[in-house]
Amino acid sequence: MSSSREIARSLTVDAIGDGQRLDLIVAAATDLSRTQSATLIATGMITVDGKAQKAGYRPTASQQIAITIPAPRGIDIVGESLPISVVFEDEHLLVVDKAAGMVVHPAPGNWTGTLVHALVGRGGELSSEGGDERAGIVHRLDKETSGLLIVAKTDRAHRLLSAALAARRIDRRYAALTWGHLREDRVTVEGRIGRDPNNRHRMALVPSGKPARTDVDRLARFDGGDLLRCTLHSGRTHQIRVHLSSIGHPVMGDDTYGGGGGRRVTGLGPGRHALHAASLRFAHPISSGWMAFRSPLPADLDVAVRAVAGAHQPPADANLLDLYGFYPDVADDQLPRRTESADG
């Protein structure tokens, strides 16, 4: 299996991007690095108001940038027999409870052993909307994050689910164990997220990034940190991790965004941070029936929470997310919350 889809998009320079270098604007608006952006600019694949420019060109507000990203050279996707947890399946979609450590789709450094390889290996139909390398993938989780995600089996289901995701009609909630203590029990973090211009492996709060909002609710306050419920209102790469780090409360175990020291407290192993996609709610794309899925904390995160709880130990047999009220009533979403501006 291989992919040959060229990606074309356009954007209008806004007041925040006004006067920034073209390569930085493109990198912040895409998944490209600054070097990759500069290469496309140099080869005429990116234009401003229909004209080729140099990477250092500084567009002004309201100018139109046209971006054409050539299709990557296809790779063969060979199915692999890998264990995955499927919590729901019908002829239109699957819901998978992904284990930490598994990459969702092939990418540099992870050309095998991904969720896509496992899905192909188990057989059955998968949508082709994202190309062969992302067969069926509607949304992603980071390698180090565990929990629930949707896989489309048909192109129609994929298109409808993607539209629902863009319209924020898919409710995704994550449990996070973080350093320090929030100033309020209910906080909204807002800040534009884009590629870190100094490190392409990180995301950062940058003026030209995409708007992002995360609602955060404290479920428990322990001596060394908080157990939080994070609700996405957008789906930027590393969004929760970047937002929590920006307000001084990185996810424990997150080496990339300042929480790596949490391993000493939680006992989490390398390549694992304390973030779990525990709740997923959406309307079925074909029947429109409401669907809701819950995933309890994996064993390593259960141990981590109990380690941080210290003297405030929960019962040994307790489901911690139930115990701490992770799964809210709909009315809870209407309660007031503090807004933390994290714009860079």
The whole-number mean pLDDT for each consecutive block of 10 residues of the chain, a chain of 344 residues, reads: 58 72 83 81 91 91 86 71 95 97 84 91 89 88 96 96 93 96 95 86 89 96 94 93 96 94 89 96 95 96 95 92 84 54 55
Residue 217 three-state SS? strand
Long-range pairs for 194-199: beta carbons < 8 A, 24 or more residues apart: 194/27, 194/28, 194/29, 195/27, 195/28, 195/30, 195/31, 195/32, 195/33, 195/34, 197/24, 197/27, 197/28, 197/34
pLDDT at site 339: 61
Q: Which of 142, 196, 226, 254 is catalytic?
A: 142
pTM of the model: 0.79
Q: What is the DSSP string of 78-113?
A: -------EEEEE-SSEEEEEEPTT--SS-BTTBSSS
Is 64 in contact with 83 (CB distance < 8 Å)? no
Is 142 considered catalytic here? yes
Q: 301: burial class by Cβ within 10 Å (0-12, 13-18, 19+)?
A: buried
pLDDT at site 344: 46
pLDDT at site 32: 75
Task: Read off the amino acid at residue 200.
Answer: R
The length of the chain, given as a count of residues: 344
pLDDT at site 4: 46
Which domains, ranges and CATH numbers included, belong to the chain? 7-69 (3.10.290.10), 85-166 (3.30.2350.10), 171-280+316-341 (3.30.2350.10)
